[in-house]
Amino acid sequence: MTEQAIYDSRQRRIRRQIRRGGGLSAAKDTAVRRVKHQRIHFISTFDKPMLAIVLLLVVIGGLMVFSATWDWSNQTYGTASGFFVEEHLRNVILSTIALFFFATIDYRFWKQFAIWMLLFTIVSLVLVRIYGEPIFGARRSFSGGRLQPGELAEFTVVLYMAAWLGSKQARVDSLLFGLLPFLAVVGVISGLIVIQPDLSSAGIVALTAGVIFFVAGANLFHILALGGITTAVSIIVIQSWPYAQNRIANFLAGLSDITLTDYHTLQAITAFVRGGWIGVGVGQSQQKFGALPAPHTDSIFAIVGEELGVLGAAVVVALYIAFAIRGFQMARIAKDNFGSLLCVGFTSWVIIQALLNIAVMTGVIPSTGVPLPFISFGGSSLMVVMIGVGLMLSVHRVATRPKPTSERRSDIANIDRSWRHRRARLSGLGDRAGATPAAPKE
């Protein structure tokens, strides 16, 4: 007996019981249960673990932003909470609204806009180089630093790569139709970001795109070649920018003597030393009073280490690990390649940013200007990351909501994990019990 037949039989039995008991009419009872089912269905399709992880990170971020800015806010706005309320809290509210908006809409709807987003991003990167506001010798933003096309580029690359590499017509393992177009797109985007100059954002774009390219089923020899090309280009770029050479020189000097490292890293390490295991207490940081550059943006993890200690910093790291695990789990249950690659791309993007920020603050790599996702202050950075999470939640909603039997029968996974066919390296619906296997290729 089919599921639909079982369901119809159960409904007929309930109606007979209602008529005998003199309760609600069958029509009214069915309508009430239908409304209740729809409400439960809408709420239950949101991935609660991911929402909880993001909520905790945003709350910690709000606490740290307030702590890092209350003195400056008091001098600028006249109140300790002025900056937090008028700037950060507004960004959090708008970003949260955007998250639920994109989570509610089917993520496949946005696939058709991927190419237009790519073109818009390229135009924005060109315009910011010409008309952007010069800050510390670079042109990276509009509107007082609130709008940064480089951060939009990181988001757009994930969306476009997922749409392109996840399509059935994509020939990911091909040199002519796979590797070369990939190099062209990533090269143009990264190149426009490098000339701002912004080496860290360019590196994030290249690394995130590379992860998506690999997971989509790229040839391993192409991946190795891509790594070699990226390394060679990075060396050339570093040799062309004196400030990049100085950062690397200071980093290498700091390996033998920590006092010789660059000023930013030295102050961050000082913050961690002052914090110890349990921290000096929320709001009690001393490094934020002029010693640590950008304490509410790039250096906020050092404030976490000073005020919450090693244990508090470990909690933040644990939340990012949980985010990565849950993000890749959502990628595995996606209905199609596009959804899988979206989850892989956005998860990798967040984790790469977090790793770079934490590595800089702990002196593991040379200094870069990378915000800590969900925690650092920033309008455009928080907005694009929250929209990315919203799209991931949409992937989960589409994958978990119930469908009619006829639709479920036709919902066949198109992800092939086989090494021989060089398809996507994530399992899909076809790898789960009860799924209809895809027909073999002729």
Q: What is the pLDDT of residue 344?
A: 94
Question: Within a domain: residue 228?
Answer: yes
Question: Within a domain: residue 39?
Answer: no
223 membership: H or E segment, kind and range: helix 220-240
Which residues fall within 8 angstroms of residue 209, CB to CB, at 6 or more apart? 157, 158, 161, 182, 185, 186
Q: How far apart are the first and last CA of the chain?
A: 34
Q: What is the pLDDT of residue 216?
A: 86
Q: Look up the domain containing 130 and give its range.
A: 46-401+416-430
DSSP-derived pairing of the beta strands 138-141 and 133-135: antiparallel
Phi, psi dihedral angles at 106 (to 5 degrees): -55, 125
d(C-alpha 178, C-alpha 221), whole Å: 12
Phi, psi dihedral angles at 425 (to 5 degrees): -95, 15
Question: Within a domain: residue 72?
Answer: yes
Nearest-5° Cα angle at 167, 163 to 170: 110
334: which DSSP letter?
-
d(C-alpha 170, C-alpha 186), whole Å: 17
Question: Within a domain: residue 13?
Answer: no
Q: What is the pLDDT of residue 260?
A: 67
Domain count, the chain: 1
Question: Within a domain: residue 187?
Answer: yes
Question: Within a domain: residue 82?
Answer: yes
Q: Which two tokens stand for residue 182?
A: 């990939």
Q: Which two tokens stand for residue 153?
A: 């580029």
Question: Within a domain: residue 318?
Answer: yes
d(C-alpha 270, C-alpha 304), whole Å: 12
The structure tokens 């900056």 sit at 83
Q: Which two tokens stand for residue 364?
A: 């593991």
d(C-alpha 222, C-alpha 229), whole Å: 10
Q: What residues are paired with 138 via a beta bridge?
A: 135
Question: Within a domain: residue 387?
Answer: yes
pLDDT tens for each residue of the chain, 442 residues long = 566 666 667 667 766 665 565 444 444 444 444 444 444 456 677 889 999 999 999 999 988 888 888 777 777 666 766 677 777 888 899 999 999 999 999 999 999 899 999 999 999 888 888 876 666 556 666 666 667 788 888 899 999 999 988 877 667 777 788 788 888 998 899 888 888 777 888 889 989 999 998 888 888 888 888 888 888 887 887 777 776 777 777 777 666 667 667 777 788 888 888 888 888 888 788 877 777 777 788 888 888 988 898 999 999 999 999 999 999 999 998 888 899 999 999 999 999 999 998 988 887 877 777 889 999 887 788 899 999 999 999 999 888 876 554 444 444 444 343 333 444 555 444 344 344 444 444 3
Q: What is the CA radius of gyration of the chain?
A: 25
